[in-house]
Amino acid sequence: MAIHYQRIIPTKQILRLILPSLEATNVPKGHVPVYVGETQKKRFVIPISYLKHPSFQNLLSQAEEEFKFDHPLGRLTIPYREEAFIDLTCSLNSS
């Protein structure tokens, strides 16, 4: 039986990677753009507070496994189905 430890990804590390790309886009203060999709990527703008939520941390861990934080053009990219991402953000928004 394998034991998997979920690694918590520091918010500061994520923001350092994507801040240069924020300057060139219209993103409201306190929010961050995220690109979601398995093949075709769609841009979402989410509150920074989502980055610390355990469910979102799980998504970030998956993204780290696939992209190793080497995101094209400094974009935070999550290889996840768009519909599932929308469901997750709706549940975070209502909590």
Q: Identify the band that residue 47 occupies on the pLDDT scale cut at 50, 70 and 90.
A: very high
User: Are residues 31 and 45 in contact, defined by beta-carbon separation less than 8 angstroms?
Assistant: yes
CA 48, distance to chain mean position in Å, is 10
Six-digit token string for 2: 């394998």
Average confidence score pLDDT of the chain: 76
pLDDT in tens, 27-37: 888 888 888 88
Q: Identify the band that residue 56 occupies on the pLDDT scale cut at 50, 70 and 90.
A: confident
pTM, two decimals, is 0.65
